[in-house]
Amino acid sequence: MAIRQLVQYKNSQILTTLKSMSIKILILCTGNSCRSQMAEGFLKSIDSRLKVYSAGTEPSEKVHPMAIEVMKEIGIDISGNAPKSVNRFLNETFDYVITVCDEANETCPVFTGNVKYRLHIGFEDPAKATGTPQQIKNEFVRIRDEIVTAFQEFYNDNIKSNRN
């Protein structure tokens, strides 16, 4: 009986450790000013244990103001974020690297660092939207909502289910 209790205790310790481990995620696109920033902000908002970063192969000078605005509308503040180069992360290990570019219209970046799982969840680039200010904002809202839906599904299928 004592051995069984010891094994159960050790198994519960291992399970507790696995549940508390942080998962490291890198979200990649080209400019790191819209899609990857919104995805980073969303994932951080739903699970503080995640270590989420975003980067680009050709980082912009700043996060797109409309990306900041539409994320703020759903209670997520990305105004303190800044675009970063993927080169900064090449010597790090990630559980997931997720590209968010629109494969039909762009060349997706490739991460050459150490990663367990590579995924692609593509979205059109809202920064390329044209039209009236309201039409452009509507495009940012549409892409934000697609990102929220897709990354909630990613989280539920790949992370949350493994922590329960």
User: Which positions are annotated as active-site residues?
Assistant: 29, 101, 108
Query: d(Cα 74, Cα 67) in Å, to the nearest integer?
Result: 11
Sign of CA dihedral 70, 154, 24, 116: negative
Contact by Cβ (8 Å): 72, 79: yes
CB atoms within 10 A of CB 43: 24
Which three-class secondary structure state does DSSP give residue 114?
Answer: strand
The helix-helix angle for 133-155 and 35-46 (nearest 10°) equals 50
